Chains A and B, each alone.
Chain A
Amino acid sequence: MAALGQRSRLIYLPVSLAVATSLFPFAWMALSSIKTLRELYTVPPAWLPQAPTFVNYWKVLTESNIPRYFLNSLVISTGSTVIAIALAIFAAYGFARFRFAGKAWCEAFVLIGQLLPTAAIIVPLYIVLGKLGLANTWLGLILVYLILTLPLSVWMLIGYFSAIPVELEEAAIVDGASRVGVLTRITLPLSLPGIVAVVIYAFVTTWNEFIFALCLATDSRAKTLPIGLSEFSTEFNTDWGAVMAASMLMTLPVIAMFLAMQRLFIDGLTAGATKG
């Protein structure tokens, strides 16, 4: 035990280094977002803001499209997550509880969907959405984001459903419950932590997504926050204070969500890898 005690004190140095490296850019973003323009553009850079100000946030909230993009992001991420979870619950239940011909192929197909390079299908998606009149609409992006959220949700939920004892369900079936009744009244409540983890993952994934939105949302009706942010910083004269404030506004919801549900999220994420 002596060796362990010694080791535990030595460990603080690398741990602090790793945590500092992880957090520094986020801290710098937060600090930059409350600096005045003059302070942002000084050499050498000032570590701490002399006169903290919320003027950058005010600018982002009143003079830019960011509030509209925030709404778009919220609607699209929520919509896509809800549809993905609904479809995934049924699919994962089918995969976890039944044997049927071609099941292995169907599962492999879902896995491929998860690993597909998005660049390979973006051109047809652009053309097809245009033809269907879904370009620049909430619905168009909600559907497209199912590509990202659905396979993953199915895959994570299979793990959760498989872990629930079959006997519980069998008893209910003997008592005359239907399959869907068993699913909604027994399996779902028992796997609630898993569902929460999948919901967070799906929501964060769509909230953070950039490339689909860049190609498929070309005006402010459907542009999401990541696109709004890239527009700020690609202008010739970047207003870095506003960019950092917008970055904070975009990051805080996902960080808050993550910290609140952290335990569930990490367990859900790692379940597949460690059980496989």
Chain B
Amino acid sequence: MSSRNPQRTGFLFALPALLALALLIVYPLLHTAALSAMDDSGRYVGSRNYERIVASSVTLAALWNTFYYVGASLVLQMTIGAAVGIMLNQKFRARGLARSLILVPWIVPGIVAATTWAWMFHSEFGIVNYMLQTAGVVDGPVGWLTSPQLVLPSLIAVNVWKMFPFVAVMVLAGLQAVPDSRYEAARMDGANFMDEVRYVMIPHLRPILFAITLLLLIWGLNGITLIYAMTKGGPANRSLITPIQIYKQAFEFFRFGEAAALSVMFFGVVLVLIAIYIWLLGRRSET
């Protein structure tokens, strides 16, 4: 497009937003890095904060919980979400209504999801225990959020409930871009429904599935709300994930230096994931 000085004009348009982001993101990041090498009175202490964090047994446990929580959530969100997306792509009556209703968990604020599920998981008055007891699945009331073994699986279930609609909608959008001729060709070859899923839908969806996976991964690594509101990382740190550990170091124990050191390490890990994402995204648009 012709313009007197397109080089400068484009940049000038983008400049205010870039400046705002730099102030809101780059500056705090640099500040985090600086804090991570200081004690609470602002004196330089080198790597002492890092050593303390790495030496703490909580750090490793939280890291393990993070991988477990994010990994299991991701697998279930993708599987269930893709299945529901494929299902919603079929022709049936009231399809539009089903598509909107299914999105409710994703629209509901995270804190509302957390409190509602906490109420449903209530060991004495909760509806979950009542339903499972009626169905004969469990003998007595189960402490879903208080049992060390059950707390993470319970939280994962809530997280899957919250996010599978997002996957379903994205998969649905992807499927609607598949030309009908592809299905017709497959049916001519005698393909049944599962063959269509395998040979027509999945190959077509691959780029979208890939993008969603990384988005969910990063959101999962950020996702404090559900866990913090339901268990605060308990019982006995059994549901403590790294972002909550950062929050607790800073705002419960007021160890800003250690919180910053942990933030830097956590950011490093997430940055690697983002770099892979952008790299693969770039490769995808080139081909």
A residues whose Cβ falls under 8 Å from a Cβ of B: 4, 7-8, 11-12, 14-15, 18-19, 21-23, 25-26, 28-29, 32, 40-45, 87-88, 90-91, 93-95, 97-103, 106, 108-113, 115-128, 143-144, 146-147, 150-151, 154, 166, 169-170, 173, 179, 204, 207-208, 210-211, 214-215, 225-226, 229-230, 232-233, 240, 243-244, 247, 250-251, 254-255, 258-259, 262, 266, 269-270, 273-274, 276
Contacts and interface: CB of A to CB of B under 8 A. Distances in A.
Contacts of A116: 25, 267, 270
B169 A118 contact: no
A120 B266 contact: yes
A275 B208 CA distance: 10
Nearest to B18: A106
Given A32-B119, A120-B264, A259-B100, A95 B105 contact: no
B125 interface: yes
B64 interface: no
With most chain A CB atoms within 10 A of its CB, the pick from B35, B117, B250, B266 is B250
A265 B285 CA distance: 25
Contact of A254 (B9, B10, B107, B285): B107
A262 B250 contact: no
10 contacts: A14-B87, A19-B102, A28-B116, A91-B14, A106-B14, A119-B224, A211-B224, A226-B109, A255-B104, A274-B208
A123 B259 contact: yes
A251 B103 CA distance: 13
Contact of A87 (B16, B109, B118): B16
A121 to B, nearest CB: 4
B225 to A, nearest CB: 4
A21 B112 contact: no
A106 B21 CA distance: 11
Given A103-B10, A116-B25, A229 B222 contact: no
Given A43-B125, A240-B119, A210 B110 contact: yes
Q: Summarize B's interface: helix, strand, loop or mixed.
A: helix
Contacts of B119: 28-29, 32, 240, 243-244
A42 B126 CA distance: 10
A91 B35 contact: no
Interface of B: 1-3, 6-14, 16-18, 20-21, 24-25, 27-29, 31-32, 35, 84, 87-88, 90-92, 98, 100-105, 107-113, 115-120, 122, 124-127, 130, 134, 161, 165, 169-170, 173-174, 177, 193, 207-208, 211-212, 218, 221-222, 224-225, 228-229, 242-243, 246-247, 250-251, 256, 259-260, 263-264, 266-267, 270, 274, 277-278, 281, 284-285
A119 B246 contact: yes
Contacts of B108: 25-26, 251, 254-255
A270 B100 contact: no
Contacts of B246: 119-120, 122-123
A54 B119 CA distance: 19
Given A108-B278, A273-B173, 6 more contacts: A26-B108, A26-B116, A98-B6, A100-B11, A146-B21, A254-B109
B17 A99 contact: no
A89 to B, nearest CB: 9
B55 to A, nearest CB: 20
B10 A117 contact: no
Given A106-B14, A262-B100, A120 B32 contact: yes
Nearest to A41: B125
